Amino acid sequence: MRNAIHNKGMSNTLQEKKEISKKLKERAINEGFTISGIASIPGSSRLNLRTNALNRWLSNNLHGEMKWMEAERRKNIGSLLEGAKSVLSVGFTYINSQNHNKNKIFKVGKFGQGEDYHKVIHKKLKNIGRWINQEIPDCRWKICVDTSPLLEKAWAEESGLGWIGKNSNLINKIHGSWFTLGFMILTKDLVPDKPHKSLCGKCDKCIEHCPTEAIVEPFVIQSNRCIAYHTIESRKKTIPKKIKENLNGWVAGCDICQDICPWNKSVPFNDTFETSPKEWIKNLNNDSLSWDDKTWEKKLQGSTLRRIKPWMWRRNIKANLRNQ
């Protein structure tokens, strides 16, 4: 009799965990995220594999000037919040029916054409945090967007949001790879989702179509060969000749390896004000070279692309013009 009561108590506890886990993921979708999932900390053995892959990438200096990737805390999610037990992973779709780059003089990566996704995701996650404070008052939480030292794509994969593709982007069966990630580290033990399996199969289109051969092997990007890296991250005064010859209009980011991906052929749009392209981006042309720093700062207000300094915009635009 005593064992029966004990088992019943365990069952109730498990049922409660399932219910609150389900409610949390539903709350994320209601808040405007496209996908949501949960992972347990420390996660499965694949997290160790991803950490080892990161170490190899760093030791081979494939991260270029991105020194923040070397942060040791990135390898230990527990260091970001004491008592961490679970992770809520969410994806925010940024592809909009208007943000195409066909027949444009200058091209901007789709992720950066709308509002600053860091702020959009943070605001939505904060709303979820307020909900947690009411529904799970004994749970502490910490928000992480891509400025936090976290193995983001690995934890998103662990949470079942998708798989890390050969182009190193996270891919979802329905939504492709057109989404940015957000996370909430939680001190509550929740029911995890199944980690996603890779569905790239034998497809190598992203590798074959990269004009600068930046995907040096499946899942491995050599930053100093990547157009997105050179137009967004690199602080060098000039763009290398090999990159310049293959810019083909790209002045902020590059979508080639995503545009060619079969999983991105037909995905749902997220036509909200948050993802709608800013007017100045839609009309970017040669006249932009005459903008002074104050004009650039004004244009870039509220944009993810503020990371690209005014002098870098001019560098990127000139590099395209000289190659015409």
Q: How confident is the model at residue 307 (pLDDT cuts 50, 70, 90)?
A: very high
Q: Which residues have a catalytic role annotated?
A: 146
* Statement: the pTM of the whole predicted model exceeds 0.85: yes
How far apart are alpha carbons 178 and 155 in whole angstroms? 17
How far apart are alpha carbons 277 and 97 in whole angstroms? 10
Q: What is the mean pLDDT of residues 238-243?
A: 96
Q: Residues of the chain with pLDDT > 90: what percent? A: 78
Q: How confident is the model at residue 100 (pLDDT cuts 50, 70, 90)?
A: confident
Decide if pLDDT at 78 tops 90: no
pLDDT reported for residue 221: 94
Helix (H, G, I), strand (E, B) or coil at 203: coil
Check residues 3 and 172 and name the one with the higher pLDDT. Answer: 172
Q: How confident is the model at residue 290 (pLDDT cuts 50, 70, 90)?
A: very high
How many residues are recorded in the chain?
A: 324
Decide if pLDDT at 5 tops 50: no
- The dihedral over CA atoms of 230, 175, 117, 254, expressed in degrees to the nearest 10, equals 20
Contact 184, 128 (CB under 8 A): yes
Q: How confident is the model at residue 71 (pLDDT cuts 50, 70, 90)?
A: low
Alpha-carbon separation of residue 194 from 24, 70, 157, 183, 214 (angstroms): 16, 29, 9, 17, 31
Task: State how far Cα 296 lies from the chain centre.
Answer: 25
Query: 26 in the Ramachandran plot: left (φ > 0), alpha (ψ -120 to 50) or beta?
Result: alpha
Helix (H, G, I), strand (E, B) or coil at 169: coil
